[in-house]
Amino acid sequence: MSEDVPAVLTELAPAKLNLALHIRGRRPDGRHDIETVFAFCLDGDRVEAMAGEGLSLTVDGPFADALADGDDNLVVRAARALADAAGIPANAALRLHKKLPVASGIGGGSADAAATLRLLTRLWSIDPAHAARVAPALGSDVPACLLSMTSRGEGTGDALRLLDAGISGAPVLLVAPHIALSTRDVFAGWDGNDLGPLGEWRDGRNDLEAPARTLVPVIGELVDWLDGQPGATVVRMSGSGATCFALFDGEASRDSAAAAVPAEWWHLATVLR
């Protein structure tokens, strides 16, 4: 590479799945205590960075139109927070390729923010501890997305423990109805009933599915459709929705299901990390 061509660093922002999500209670500050298992896909958004004067962000990709590229974007907020924590200028030219739908329960902005923290830690050659320190303030899923490894989350989701769930390489199909869901609204619809702790994730549930279905009834259709696909082993909604997913017994059955997804739904056929 010629010396006058700037090096571009890139980082995947993998799609996040909640294999199970149990809500255990509501805190006085309005947040919720949860027990969940996070898993991550081999596909997702992608963030690029190169050295620059000041901080800039461009956004492209299939879902770019749904995002702003200014200070409200979590990528920009993550970059500024990391620079402040490290006591350095926020100098970087950032590019976000937005492949995943927004506000869909699969990480989205949290995954993008976490990828930005990893990326700029490398670009700026700073201590990764700075990224871990600023992640919780950016969003409850950002610490898990920063790790991007299968883990159990408790508290508000930021108390993490690595988990060997035996699912690496598992074929998975994600399906969403092109309807954005507000995480705040879905949590607000939770009925307040603690249905019990999370043990083995395969026997678990997603306590946000009921309020999400109330807001977006088509979620029920997605779950039923996935559940009816040959080879589907576990079917659930992820996070606060509206994306639903199915784990499959093999790539062939997953691909057959992917080929049959109704045209009006977004889908992604991938595997778990």
Over residues 167-176, the pLDDT tens digits come to 999 999 999 9
Q: Assess whether pLDDT exceeds 80 at residue 5.
A: no
255 CB neighbour count, 10 Å cutoff: 15
pTM: 0.94
Q: What is the mean pLDDT of residues 233-241?
A: 98
Q: What is the mean pLDDT of residues 264-273?
A: 98
pLDDT single digits (tens) 150-169: 999 999 999 999 999 999 99
pLDDT band, residue 67 (cuts 50/70/90): confident
Domains of the chain (ranges; CATH) run: 9-162 (3.30.230.10), 171-271 (3.30.70.890)
Q: Assess whether pLDDT exceeds 60 at residue 26.
A: yes
Tell me which residues are annotated as active site.
Answer: 16, 141
C-alpha count within 13 angstroms, C-beta hemisphere, residue 49: 25
